[in-house]
Amino acid sequence: MRTQVAIVGSGPSGLLLGRLLTAAGIDNVILERTSKEHVLGRVRAGVLEQGTVSLLDEAGAAGRLHREGLPHDGFSIAFSGRLHRIDLHGLTGGRRVTVYGQTEMAHDLMDLRNSDGATSVYEASDVEPHDFDTNAPFVTYSKDGITRRLDCDFIAGCDGSHGICPRSVPQKAVQHYERGYPFGWLGILVERPPVDHELIYVNHERGFALCSMRSHTRSRYYVQCPLDDRVEDWPDQRFWDEIRRRLPEAAAGHVTVGPSFEKSIAPLRSSVTEPMRFGRLFLVGDAAHIVPPTGAKGLNLAVSDVRYLFDALVEFYREGSEAGIDAYSAKALARVWKAERFSWWMTNTLHRFPETGPFGRRIQEAELDYLSRSEAASTAVAENYVGLPY
């Protein structure tokens, strides 16, 4: 089998890239090691930057998002028993974010791919990219016990940090930057209305908390917890007691408790791989970078990578120019590092670290008090949260 672009990974970035390429008349095949049901069963982020929504519009994949997504014009930060609202819409000239689950986005893109008749191979095992340092790369994989070969012009590695594409790049040609965090997020999903119509981020002496949502009737909550905690250590009642302790009294009174139907603990880390291009192989999204979820940047960074790569491939096939391909890594990384910085700032400002101590707590309080009183500081946060320009 032959195609123009082989896409490894059927998450949102692989599906979005595939949809854009198909609409542009560029043939592509998606290879995914798991089942379609497994992909759709992943519970992930749900805060979309305006640039992400715009690219989904361009792909013709935003119809249900506009019907069911929740536009947010701001969010709040709770600290010292009070709330400060960041007016995203007012501070950024009318920009906003939209709450829409990553799973729903993937579902929409899968449906479009099916209607397009584009090829996706699920449960493809032993996927491996070859000869991507030449002009004739190819990918091998196994399906139904048979080893198959997919010849292509380019390979897009959209298969995450543990995927085969990032593991296939020559280690002597790559630089890894990484920062681990000494805590995790315990998160639950519950079929109850959210505390507020917008997100609330919480800095508290007992640790970080976040009140989020997936819809008007489904809420997503998180609390900072030790890395060695287990889900079994957190029955629902303990979780509800803890998040209400961390919220200001007025907000805590609006928490509607109920049985959780999903509960998990996620570690936090920041990482970047440089470069993001190796010959005819491109790393996209989590295959190249990870951010802590505090700044809501992970999925949005993957989408901006797709923007840059798609534009580069269109330029190659329509104009015969490799300028965009050559510039892909530098363009993507310039935006990645700014998002890494913002996510790092949010994480450091809102969480309690083992070394924070009394001095560190007062610095956090001063930082947040300054933010609440300075329009310039709030504007900087708002600009980063809605997403920097591509």
- Tally of CB atoms within 10 A around 131: 15
Whether 122 sits among the annotated catalytic residues: the reply is no
Whether 201 sits among the annotated catalytic residues: the reply is yes
Query: Active-site residue among 204, 289, 297, 351?
Result: 297
> CA of 232: how far to CAs of 235, 264, 294, in Å?
7, 10, 24
Query: Active-site residue among 100, 141, 201, 317?
Result: 201
d(CA 8, CA 30): 6
State how beta strands 260-274 and 125-130 pair.
Answer: unpaired
Query: Residue 323 belongs to what H/E stretch?
Result: helix 323-350
For residue 197, give every residue at least 6 positions away whose Cβ sits within 8 Å of its Cβ, in sequence order, or none. 72
| Single-letter amino acid, residue 133 | D
Q: 230, exposed or middle or buried, with CB in 10 Å at 0-12, 13-18, 19+?
A: exposed
3-state helix vs strand vs coil in the chain, percent to 5: 40, 25, 30
CA-wise closest residue to 8 among 176, 169, 167, 160 = 160
Whether 385 sits among the annotated catalytic residues: the reply is yes
Query: Residue 85 belongs to what H/E stretch?
Result: strand 82-87
Whether 254 sits among the annotated catalytic residues: the reply is no
Give residue for tokens 């009183």. Answer: 373
Contacts of range 284-287, beta carbons closer than 8 Å, 24 or more positions apart: 284/13, 284/14, 284/17, 284/156, 284/157, 284/158, 284/309, 285/11, 285/13, 285/158, 285/160, 286/11, 286/160, 286/161, 287/9, 287/157, 287/158, 287/159, 287/160, 287/161, 287/163, 287/165, 287/166
- Tally of CB atoms within 10 A around 210: 23
For residue 118, give every residue at least 6 positions away whose Cβ sits within 8 Å of its Cβ, in sequence order, or none. 18, 19, 22, 28, 29, 30
Query: Active-site residue among 141, 166, 293, 331?
Result: 293
Whether 338 sits among the annotated catalytic residues: the reply is no
Query: Active-site residue among 12, 72, 222, 317?
Result: 72
d(CA 306, CA 205): 39
In the three-class reduction of DSSP (H, G, I as helix; E, B as strand; rest coil), residue 357 is classed as helix
What amino acid positions are annotated as catalytic residues?
Answer: 72, 201, 293, 297, 385
